[in-house]
A and B are shown apart, each in its own frame.
Chain A
Amino acid sequence: MKMKRLAAMALAGTLAAAPAMAELVIPDLSYRTGPYAAGGTPFSDGYQDYFNMLNARDGGIGGESIRIIECETGYNTEKGVECYESTKGEGALIYQPLSTGITYQLIPKATADGIPIHTMGYGRTSAANGEVFNWVFNYPANYWDAASVMINYLLEENGGDLSGKKIALVYHNSAYGKEPIRTLENLSEMHGFELSQLAVDHPGQEQKSQWLQIRRERPDYVLMWGWGVMNQVAVQEAANIGFPMENFIGNWWAGAEHDVTPAGAAADGYKSLNMNRIDANLPVFDDIRSLVHEAGNAAGDGSHVGSVLYTRGMYAAMLAAEAIAKAQEIHGVSNITAAQLRDGMEALEITEARMEELGMPQVGPAFSVSCENHGGSGLGIVQQWNAADGQWVALTDYIAPDDSVIDPLVAEDSAAFAAENGIEPGCL
């Protein structure tokens, strides 16, 4: 926690309440409480720590200091709306809503208000079509990419042929969990594998029926779109029925340390996707430790540095910071507006060299954003849990999705949205 006495913080709080001019305001809609707190805490820590590090090291971005406004949503849509409304008046530049429900809420609202949203690997997949969703960005990858990356990985494992294989999808019975179904159905027709779908109702404490079904049907692979307690229970139940863990692949929200540790050694070998590489020794972490944590400004207790979701939060902050720098460059002003930041995001280009320079080599794939494509490259890696060492090990390099399957789906879904809402597709 911010290691100062609360009394001092109270004073600082009242002083900071007066709107200070010429700052880059970044709201952080975090969820450190509620059923998904274990996932929200490290993400938010990483997100804030990176901006704090920029403030301490470079004096912000382009000479403008960054002010983070944290607002607790508890993953609850109504609280998310309250957070959005209470922070947008402060001159918020970019929102990272961090929940499917809040994202769907904010897409129309933020579009009307002219504030960009970055939904990194979650939210509405068809927002990749920037001509319909001018203000929404979901680079570097989305759920349909994830489904395709998984299948491509399995194709590679099986020498390019999945025909006759049985693949089961265990999914959270919600908007989030249903995302990959259409893509997987198309892929199953294309590659000739048999897809079975097993829904798990929220919250997912009790999954005996689903795993007994998997035990009966003996699929070759199990894919999972899980979240919250569902992940821990699924990993445990898979181990219980003796399902080979190396054939069990979760998506990138089902692949953090806390998803596997409750199952202990039984979770060894479980695989998941990731959109960012994890490496506890990235040079940028040294800066964060020395400039932020030792100065007593850590957003959390500092224990998550280097974990999957901490790294992802920091990666998200990096993408935002780079977009801000880009916007400053395009518009020639340092104190940019939300609309200018949108231009920066649309012109964003992340290269290997730039990531190296930032002290996080290969943390994500190199990609560039354009008006037509807000979705980035869609690459993902497959990682595997090593229970003995207690860490995730990357198994592959970045794997590309099959764009020939996903692009038509994105076009179809975004066209339906445009028609329903009377949007004329086009670039701003």
Chain B
Amino acid sequence: MLYREAGDFKTTYVADSQTFPLKLDRIGFWVTLAVAWLVIPFVINDYWASSLLVPFLIYAIAAIGLNILTGYCGQVSLGTGGFMAVGAYACYKLMTSFPDVNIMIHIVLAGGITAMVGAAFGLPSLRIKGFYLAVATLAAQFFLVWLFNKVSWFYNYSASGQINAPERFVAGVAVTGPNTPAWAQYLICLFFVTICAVIARNLTRGTIGRSWMAIRDMDIAAEIIGVNPLKAKLTAFAVSSFFVGVAGALFFAVYLGAVEVGEAFGIQKSFLVLFMIIIGGLGSIFGSFAGAAFLVLLPVALKWLGVDVMGWPTDLVAHFQLVIVGALIMFFLIKEPHGLAQLWRLAKEKLRLWPFPY
């Protein structure tokens, strides 16, 4: 049972156009899901949850969101941090105004509100392109952060402007607040990641995804063959912002529990998520995961290696961390400009021909 199509017969069109045409891929996918859902929740501890897996999953959602906009629709955005802030503050206002409603609904609604805000800020994209658009989205970033910092209604008039997530339950188990068990924190994020990834994957395979890609590849040509650029661009902004908003809500409510807008959702966050999708691979759902993993896990791994194993002074390790991350980014780009997803694709290509490559 080698990794190849031969012998894997499809008898219907539905089977033929499925996401994973190779049997081994399908098995791998289901095994990954099974491990993520059925094994990890039982072995996870606080450290793994709040330092690695939860941030990884949340950044993966944000990266999928931005990848839809940038990777699939070709609109570079640097407003991710601001849109995450919209999700977080929407979630906070909903949580405190309607404490009896289930938090899951709040998170989805927060995503919906972000989608509307995102579509509004997407309007300039109809005229502005490329790097100019990237810098224009920074206007959204800076304005939103300023707004949430300035208008005290958003943080319920607290003295310092910090927002704190109150304790909320899903099926009797706390999922926000300090008493959340590690597995619950992990599972709620995993739930949203799974849903988002499935939705994103299927959207990008369908009509709407194809219209995005047409706009990305050449917007004038796409317009001529009948793709409505207004509709395509705004839906991309809205769908992307929905995911980013969900990520922001989870980031605030489940991961950190207390945030200050300038610190948590500043311009650095926008850049970080953009780095993730470029390193992971533009226009690839797998790439979003790979990029998020790379940028969340690598610094922790380097810190562990430097401080815990080698016993170096922490500040030297932190400086080396920057040098190594920077050097690795450049190295990867030189070796494979299309990101980790392309490396993965190439590896699979090779595997299909192994052991008799031509």
Q: Do chains A and B touch in the complex (CB under 8 A)?
A: yes
Across the interface, do B164 and A9 meet the contact criterion of CB distance under 8 Å? no
Given A6-B310, A10-B310, A109-B257, A179-B315 contact (CB < 8 Å): no
Q: Does chain A have a CB within 8 A of B178?
A: yes
> Which of the residues B51, B160, B167 comes within 8 Å of A85, measured between beta carbons?
B51
Across the interface, do A100 and B260 meet the contact criterion of CB distance under 8 Å? yes
Looking at B213-221, B261-269, B325-333, the stretch in contact with chain A turns out to be B261-269
Across the interface, do A174 and B260 meet the contact criterion of CB distance under 8 Å? yes
Looking at A66-74, A213-221, A346-354, A370-378, the stretch in contact with chain B turns out to be A66-74
Given A81-B51, A126-B159, A72-B310 contact (CB < 8 Å): no
Given A10-B311, A32-B318, A105-B258, A416-B158 contact (CB < 8 Å): yes
Q: Does chain A have a CB within 8 A of B127?
A: no
Q: Chain B residues near A11: list those with CB within 8 A.
A: 311
Q: Does chain A have a CB within 8 A of B171?
A: no
User: Once bound together, how far apart are the Cα atoms of A275 and B111, in whole Å?
Assistant: 45
Across the interface, do A101 and B158 meet the contact criterion of CB distance under 8 Å? no
Q: Chain A residues near B65: list those with CB within 8 A.
A: none
User: Once bound together, how far apart are the Cα atoms of A422 and B179, in whole Å?
Assistant: 13
Across the interface, do A173 and B256 meet the contact criterion of CB distance under 8 Å? no
Across the interface, do A421 and B55 meet the contact criterion of CB distance under 8 Å? no
Q: Does chain A have a CB within 8 A of B16?
A: no
Q: Mark A384-428, 1 if CB is under 8 A from B, else 0.
A: 000000000000000000000000010001001100111000000
Q: Does chain A have a CB within 8 A of B130?
A: no
Q: Mark B142-176, 1 if CB is under 8 A from A, else 0.
A: 00001001000000001111101011000000000
Q: Does chain A have a CB within 8 A of B300?
A: yes
Q: Chain B residues near A176: list those with CB within 8 A.
A: 160
User: Once bound together, how far apart are the Cα atoms of A422 and B258, in whole Å?
Assistant: 16
Across the interface, do B315 and A33 meet the contact criterion of CB distance under 8 Å? yes
Given A86-B47, A174-B262, A108-B164 contact (CB < 8 Å): yes
Across the interface, do A77 and B256 meet the contact criterion of CB distance under 8 Å? yes
Q: Chain A residues near B166: list those with CB within 8 A.
A: 420-422
| Minimum CB distance partner of B260 in chain A | A175
Across the interface, do A108 and B177 meet the contact criterion of CB distance under 8 Å? yes
Across the interface, do A112 and B256 meet the contact criterion of CB distance under 8 Å? no
CB distance from B38 to the nearest CB of A (A): 24
User: Once bound together, how far apart are the Cα atoms of A9 and B316, in whole Å?
Assistant: 13
Q: Mark B308-325, 1 if CB is under 8 A from A, else 0.
A: 111111111111000000
Q: Does chain B have a CB within 8 A of A52?
A: no
| Interface residues contributed by chain B, number (CB under 8 Å) | 43
Looking at A12-20, A236-244, A253-261, A332-340, the stretch in contact with chain B turns out to be A12-20
Q: Chain B residues near A86: list those with CB within 8 A.
A: 47, 51
Q: Chain A residues near B194: list those with CB within 8 A.
A: none
Across the interface, do A111 and B178 meet the contact criterion of CB distance under 8 Å? yes
Q: Does chain A have a CB within 8 A of B46?
A: yes
Q: Does chain A have a CB within 8 A of B342?
A: no
Q: Does chain A have a CB within 8 A of B96?
A: yes
CB distance from B252 to the nearest CB of A (A): 11
Across the interface, do B257 and A178 meet the contact criterion of CB distance under 8 Å? no
Q: Mark A92-125, 1 if CB is under 8 A from B, else 0.
A: 0000000011001101110111000000000011
Q: Chain B residues near A71: list those with CB within 8 A.
A: 307, 314
Across the interface, do B312 and A124 meet the contact criterion of CB distance under 8 Å? no
| Interface residues contributed by chain A, number (CB under 8 Å) | 57
> Which of the residues A70, A72, A112 comes within 8 Å of B179, measured between beta carbons?
A112
User: Once bound together, how far apart are the Cα atoms of A30 and B300, in whole Å?
Assistant: 16
Q: Chain A residues near B51: list those with CB within 8 A.
A: 81-82, 85-86
Q: Does chain B have a CB within 8 A of A294?
A: no
> Which of the residues A13, A14, A32 comes within 8 Å of B315, measured between beta carbons?
A32
Q: Chain B residues near A72: list those with CB within 8 A.
A: 303, 307, 314-315, 317-318
User: Once bound together, how far apart are the Cα atoms of A207 and B259, in whole Å?
Assistant: 26
Q: Chain A residues near B162: list those with CB within 8 A.
A: 100, 104, 175
User: Once bound together, how far apart are the Cα atoms of A14 and B304, in whole Å?
Assistant: 12
User: Once bound together, how far apart are the Cα atoms of A13 and B309, in whole Å?
Assistant: 6
Across the interface, do B313 and A202 meet the contact criterion of CB distance under 8 Å? no
Q: Does chain B have a CB within 8 A of A1?
A: yes
CB distance from A405 to the nearest CB of B (A): 14
Across the interface, do A421 and B164 meet the contact criterion of CB distance under 8 Å? yes
Given A85-B51, A201-B146, A182-B314 contact (CB < 8 Å): no
Across the interface, do A202 and B266 meet the contact criterion of CB distance under 8 Å? yes
Q: Does chain B have a CB within 8 A of A2?
A: yes
Across the interface, do A104 and B310 meet the contact criterion of CB distance under 8 Å? no
> Which of the residues A32, A108, A126 comes within 8 Å of B178, measured between beta carbons?
A108
Across the interface, do B310 and A85 meet the contact criterion of CB distance under 8 Å? no
> Which of the residues B46, B303, B311 comes within 8 Å of A12, measured between beta carbons?
B311
CB distance from B177 to the nearest CB of A (A): 7
**Which residues 265-323 of B sit at the A interface, judged by CB distance below 8 A?**
266, 300, 303, 307-319
**Which residues 132-178 of A sit at the B interface, judged by CB distance below 8 A?**
173-176, 178
Given A14-B309, A175-B161, A179-B160, A108-B47 contact (CB < 8 Å): no
User: Once bound together, how far apart are the Cα atoms of A41 and B315, in whole Å?
Assistant: 9
CB distance from A174 to the nearest CB of B (A): 5
Q: Chain A residues near B178: list those with CB within 8 A.
A: 108-109, 111-113
Q: Chain B residues near A201: list those with CB within 8 A.
A: 146
> Which of the residues A9, A82, A109, A416 comes within 8 Å of B310, measured between beta carbons?
A9
CB distance from B84 to the nearest CB of A (A): 13
Q: Does chain B have a CB within 8 A of A329?
A: no
Across the interface, do A182 and B258 meet the contact criterion of CB distance under 8 Å? no
User: Once bound together, how far apart are the Cα atoms of A14 and B305, in whole Å?
Assistant: 11
User: Once bound together, how far apart are the Cα atoms of A125 and B309, in whole Å?
Assistant: 38
Q: Does chain B have a CB within 8 A of A78?
A: yes
Residue from the set B164, B258, B316 with the largest chain A CB neighbour count within 10 Å = B258
User: Once bound together, how far apart are the Cα atoms of A420 and B316, in whole Å?
Assistant: 42
| Minimum CB distance partner of B49 in chain A | A85
User: Once bound together, how far apart are the Cα atoms of A78 and B303, in whole Å?
Assistant: 14
> Which of the residues A16, A88, A173, A421 comes within 8 Å of B167, measured between beta carbons?
A421
CB distance from A222 to the nearest CB of B (A): 22
Given A32-B315, A85-B47, A420-B308 contact (CB < 8 Å): no
User: Once bound together, how far apart are the Cα atoms of A89 and B308, in whole Å?
Assistant: 14
Q: Chain B residues near A101: list those with CB within 8 A.
A: 259-260, 263-264
User: Once bound together, how far apart are the Cα atoms of A41 and B308, in whole Å?
Assistant: 20
Across the interface, do A78 and B55 meet the contact criterion of CB distance under 8 Å? yes
User: Once bound together, how far apart are the Cα atoms of A176 and B161, in whole Å?
Assistant: 9
> Which of the residues B47, B258, B311 comes within 8 Å of A89, measured between beta carbons?
B47
Across the interface, do A85 and B264 meet the contact criterion of CB distance under 8 Å? no
Interface pairs (19), CB distance under 8 Å: A6-B310, A9-B311, A10-B311, A13-B308, A16-B311, A32-B314, A33-B315, A70-B313, A71-B307, A72-B317, A85-B46, A85-B51, A104-B162, A105-B257, A108-B164, A108-B258, A112-B179, A174-B161, A409-B159
* Known interface pairs A81-B50, A174-B260; 11 further A-B residue pairs with C-beta atoms within 8 A, sorted by A's residue number: A6-B312, A12-B311, A70-B314, A74-B318, A77-B263, A81-B256, A174-B263, A175-B260, A178-B160, A179-B159, A420-B164
**Top 9 A-B pairs ranked by shortest CB distance?**
A13-B311, A108-B178, A32-B315, A112-B178, A72-B314, A175-B160, A104-B258, A9-B311, A82-B51
Interface residues of B (CB under 8 A from A): 46-47, 50-51, 55, 96, 146, 149, 158-162, 164, 166-167, 177-179, 256-260, 262-264, 266, 300, 303, 307-319
